[in-house]
Amino acid sequence: MANRPIVLVSSYPPRLCGIATFCEEAREFIQKANPEREVLVISHTDGRGEGVYPMIDLARRDWWVPVARRIEKLDPYAVHIEHEYGLYEYRDPRGVGDGNEGFLDLLEAIGTFPVVVEPHTVHGRLSDFEADFIFRLCQRSHVVLFKCHYQKWRLEWTFQGRNWAVPRNIMVVPHGARPDKRWGIHEIPRIRRELGLDRAGLADHVVGMIGWIQSNKRWDILLSLWEELHEEILRRTGQPWDLLAAGAMRDPHHRRDFEEWKSEVLTLERKGIAHYREFIPRGDTYYKMMAVCDFIVLPTIDETQSGTLARIIALNKPYVTTAPMEGLTAQTLESEGGLLFTTKAMLRQKVLKLACDERLRLELGENLRRYLDEVVSWERIARQYNEAYRLARRAARTGEPVALEPEF
């Protein structure tokens, strides 16, 4: 048993996908927490790397059959599946999807192994399809991992309102954040040089919008305010601040917004008050782009949780984000590390507040340091994963379902 592997099922790099990046980081820390085991990955056909089996082929209706056979051959200690609806949706020649039925078939096929599923999208208010899918997902899994407590207590309310049995096998495990990317202030000049930002004339103080450039991120809101904000911050503090907008497009459906927002940043850059950098938000460069910023603005309009926010937390960077917005709002309240806005005027007010109050920035950063160390460090999350594996193994062995306490 000591040598049986932990098998992750997920998209995986080099795919440009938030779940792929998440899985890559999670795998690193799961491996550190389980040095006696291999941590292997079954990925889509574009996954690459040592210990990666690229075999999920969604061109096949029965894509899940070879995956189940591979899992059986690997004889895992536990199977840990990252779920996002789009990752497992087979579409027929008409373009009609199967509603993730193949994914549920996979869970049934591997049900004799300990199965832990980590769904990345669990809305507070579920559609009829989502509610039915999560119900069936919980029936076919030994342990289901939600990212936020509100997702669990909202589900309890939703299912009771439908007169459905509330699943008891749901465990709350937050989105992990790296504990090893907190560069000191003395290291920032070196990082600016590495990124070539010193040659670009970047101001000493920086507001950042960093990450994937896609329609739901709504960069245009801050861009429309920045010229006036820049002048007001300078008037109040005597300090010139720049906006650093850095990232890349990953979904061609968002090209129109990407091109428009990029053009707006370049217009501001010509005025000497902003800088645009295009890069793939992955690895150290992602963290370093954020590290040079005094604080981050994340004006997204659709998030149940956020890989961008996980990196903000890892760096202990104060931030401003949208509310009410599912996991973003929940983690902002729990961490006390960011400011929330609901209107354009509030965004303006919060950016001014952070730019003009260094003591507040330090206070929020310290709150994030504590939240990282005590709640969401990947080292802690990996230990919680191990507990989920233990519970799943016991349930698979005894046939007795996992029964965890409700939130309220």
Same domain, 286 and 392: no
Query: Average pLDDT for residues 90-116, to the nearest whole number?
Result: 97
What pLDDT, on the 0 to 100 scale, is given for residue 365?
Answer: 98
What pLDDT, on the 0 to 100 scale, is given for residue 305?
Answer: 78
Same domain, 372 and 384: no
Same domain, 298 and 391: no
Distances (CA, A) of 131 to 159, 265, 404: 8, 41, 20
What pLDDT, on the 0 to 100 scale, is given for residue 185?
Answer: 92
What pLDDT, on the 0 to 100 scale, is given for residue 195?
Answer: 96
Which CATH number do you get for residue 224? 3.40.50.2000
Question: What are the structure tokens assigned to 17, written together?
Answer: 């996908």
403 within a domain of the structure (yes/no): no
Please say if the pLDDT value at position 1 is more than 80: no
Q: Which strands make up the sheet holding 115-119, listed edge to edge?
A: 52-56, 39-44, 6-9, 78-83, 115-119, 143-146, 170-172
Please say if the pLDDT value at position 2 is more than 90: no
142 within a domain of the structure (yes/no): yes
Round the average pLDDT of the chain to a whole number and report it.
Answer: 96
CA angle, corner 308, sides to 57 and 154, nearest 5?
A: 80
Q: What is the pLDDT of residues 238-270, one digit of tens each?
A: 999 999 999 999 889 999 999 999 999 999 999
Same domain, 52 and 161: yes
Query: Average pLDDT for residues 348-377, to the nearest whole number?
Result: 98
Return the sign of the alpha-carbon dihedral for residues 199, 200, 204, 208.
negative
Query: Average pLDDT for residues 214-239, to the nearest whole number?
Result: 96
Q: What is the pLDDT of residues 397-407, one digit of tens each?
A: 999 999 999 98
Same domain, 301 and 354: yes
What pLDDT, on the 0 to 100 scale, is given for residue 302?
Answer: 86
Within 213-306, where are the H helices?
219-237, 255-270, 283-291
282 within a domain of the structure (yes/no): yes
252 within a domain of the structure (yes/no): yes
Same domain, 32 and 85: yes
116 within a domain of the structure (yes/no): yes
Predicted confidence band at 319 (pLDDT cuts at 50, 70, 90)? very high
178 in Cβ contact with 25 (< 8 Å): yes
Same domain, 207 and 83: no
Range of the domain at 310: 185-376
Query: Average pLDDT for residues 316-329, to the nearest whole number?
Result: 96
Same domain, 367 and 289: yes
166 in Cβ contact with 406 (< 8 Å): yes
Count up the domains in the chain and report the number: 2
Same domain, 189 and 324: yes
Query: In what helix (H) or strand (E) does residue 41 lie, and over which residues does it extend?
Result: strand 39-44
State what percent of residues in the chain have pLDDT above 70.
Answer: 100
Predicted confidence band at 371 (pLDDT cuts at 50, 70, 90)? very high
405 within a domain of the structure (yes/no): no
Q: What is the pLDDT of residues 134-191, one digit of tens each?
A: 999 999 999 999 999 999 999 999 999 999 999 999 999 999 999 999 999 999 999 9
Same domain, 223 and 367: yes
Same domain, 221 and 241: yes
Beta bridge partners of 208: 244, 296
Same domain, 150 and 245: no
Query: Average pLDDT for residues 300-311, to the nearest whole number?
Result: 89
| Closest residue by Cα to residue 4 from 30, 29, 40 | 40
408 within a domain of the structure (yes/no): no
250 within a domain of the structure (yes/no): yes
